[in-house]
């Protein structure tokens, strides 16, 4: 085998969240060809909720308060030993707030090939218009 691939990670159920005291996060993965064969698993508050391939996005409803999003990229293959790389981001979600995060590829074979950053609603909507939904939890 050459190149890279991802190992399967079991997913947890999405949280059951009431309309009051909640907000939404939307995660958008870049359309970069670099690392396109790697699946990014999205963990929120310790639960593996979703995975994103290249050019996909997801919207997740969460209760208000402090949260941690963790990207995990389980990598196996010719260029790297069997291991996972993780990328955490802490944030606080307010009532009825919509936060947008962009998952980008920095450099595939660097020590931090992926990054996650907060982006504006305008930036997110432009990227979403060119993406495919993985799962939307309104």
99-113: average pLDDT: 74
End-to-end Cα distance, the chain: 40
Hey, where are the domains in the chain?
A: 4-127
Q: What is the mean pLDDT of the chain?
A: 78
Is residue 1 pLDDT above 60, yes or no? no
Single out the residue of 98, 24, 28, 100 nearest to residue 57, CA to CA. Answer: 28
Looking from the CA of 100 toward its CB, the CA atoms found within 13 Å total: 14
Structure tokens at 45: 């508050």
Q: Which residues pair with 44 in a beta bridge?
A: 47, 69
Single out the residue of 85, 90, 86, 113 nearest to residue 101, CA to CA. Answer: 90
Percentage with pLDDT > 70 across the chain: 71
112-125: average pLDDT: 86
Max mean pLDDT among 75-84, 90-99, 128-137 falls in: 90-99
> For position 66, what pLDDT does the model report?
97
Please give the residue that has the higher pLDDT: either 22 or 12.
22
70-99: average pLDDT: 75
124-133: average pLDDT: 86
Class of domain 4-127: mainly beta
> For position 2, what pLDDT does the model report?
35
* pTM, entire model: 0.79
Condensed to tens digits (0 to 9), the pLDDT of residues 45-68 reads: 989 888 888 889 999 999 999 999
**DSSP strand pairing (47-52 vs 114-119):** unpaired
Find tokens 């996060």 and name the residue.
25
> For position 72, what pLDDT does the model report?
78
């Amino acid at each position: 085998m050459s190149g890279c691939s991802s190992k399967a990670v079991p997913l947890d159920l999405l949280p059951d969240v009431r309309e009051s005291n909640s907000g939404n996060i939307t995660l958008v993965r870049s359309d970069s060809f670099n690392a396109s064969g790697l699946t990014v698993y999205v963990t929120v508050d310790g639960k593996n909720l979703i995975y994103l391939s290249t050019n996909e996005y997801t919207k997740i409803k969460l209760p208000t308060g402090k949260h941690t999003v963790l990207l995990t990229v389980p990598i196996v293959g010719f260029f790297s030993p069997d291991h996972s790389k993780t990328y955490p981001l802490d944030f606080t979600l307010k009532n009825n707030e919509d936060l947008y995060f962009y998952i980008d590829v920095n450099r595939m074979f660097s020590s931090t090939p992926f990054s996650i950053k907060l982006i504006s609603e305008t930036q997110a909507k432009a990227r979403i218009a060119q993406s495919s939904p993985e799962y939307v939890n309104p």
